[in-house]
Homo-oligomer: A and B are copies of this chain.
């Protein structure tokens, strides 16, 4: 039934050497006489021997596997990060255990436990928020953890992000400079520090510098979904907003289509700047102006940082900010 599995012991016997020697050649240890190496390699080939990574993991206490916690793979923003993570992981011979958390604290805790149980060598965590329970798990972890596209308001964890405050400030300023006096701030939950402490702060700063009064009627807290955006149009109109900075591309697409479907023109009647510069921004009409973020790179750099941490290599800067930009497309003047 089960296909026969050949072990290091079989190879040792056939090659007439010890397991230790086989282990050495498999692991590329140079302390093996070339002739012996060849002999062993031949047997390995003949028997079609594959080292068992689980046994290896147990003996060496390294699994070459890292955990990745993602809110939802289906979200184009996070999947771009995930792609960066996986590519770099592969480059460094790691595999990735990917799990969707739905930003659900309980699920996150549970997943963290499973990952630790599986002895992953490290973890990349994505999400908008780090709940207290999650933070507690982070602390008990025996394993390095880095945050990607996820801000730590207590500034303890290694992380890779952009300067959301500055980016939103710049975007808001841009809209104000176009003559908009009532710029809406459309965001995901303000319980998330990334929105409350960073993005909103940037928005307020821009207002202040422009001498505009902050009006919390212009702040819209919703969830990151296309649908939510679409339904926002009446509310936006009722507060006389003529522009919006929006925290997520799908949400922005929703807002834009809501506005457009209501017969208004983007950008003539309503200007929009979104935040993540995913490929969605180019697919939608008009194309959306956006804060640009190096999405793939955020994931890639996070994973690279993690490899250093896992190797106990010195790390100059544990919280890295990647450069952002502002990409003008057709949803702004």
Contacts and interface: CB of A to CB of B under 8 A. Distances in A.
Interface of A: 2-3, 5, 48, 50-55, 57-58, 63, 65, 68, 72-74, 76, 79-80, 82-83, 86-87, 90, 95-100, 113-119, 140, 142, 226, 250, 253-254, 257, 260, 279-280, 282-285
Contacts of A279: 226, 250
Nearest to A83: B74
B98 A96 contact: yes
Nearest to A115: B95
A99 to B, nearest CB: 6
Contacts of A68: 98
Nearest to A110: B90
Contacts of A3: 140, 142
Nearest to A143: B3
Contacts of A253: 283
A90 B5 CA distance: 28
A284 to B, nearest CB: 6
A86 B98 contact: yes
Given A65-B97, A99-B96, A118 B53 contact: yes
